[in-house]
Amino acid sequence: VPDATYWLGRAYAAKGDRHNAKKVFVGFQHDYVLHHKFSNSLYELAIIEHELKEDKRATLLLKSMIKKFPNHNSIIQAKALLKTIQADQVTKDVTKPESKTKLETTVTK
């Protein structure tokens, strides 16, 4: 059953059904912590979270994977994805203009 659950998540992800894939991988991680595909599920879920614009969750998953499974065969891809997410976040923070309301509040104080 664990292998089928993992591959069901992968199938949903391949089909583009990110919400069901996420649901399956979250359940897999909850139920099968000691399964040999657990580390893969962290990476798969991180990709899905990133695609769903949930970069904080994706970052936490990737950092967890990198820390717990430093010799995993997907570690290079995990580090690359983490670096991409962090670079995107810095770009968003730098280019995000302050809201007019915030500026007006600061000026009128």
- Sequence-distant (6+) residues with CB within 8 A of 3 are 37
Residue ranges per domain, the chain? 2-108
The pTM of this model reads: 0.82
What topology is assigned to 2-108 in CATH?
1.25.40
Please work out, in degrees rounded to the nearest 5, the angle formed at the alpha carbon of residue 46 by the alpha carbons of 45 and 50: 115
Task: List, for residues 54-99, the tens digit of each pLDDT value.
Answer: 999 999 999 999 999 999 999 999 999 999 999 988 887 777 666 4
10-22: average pLDDT: 99
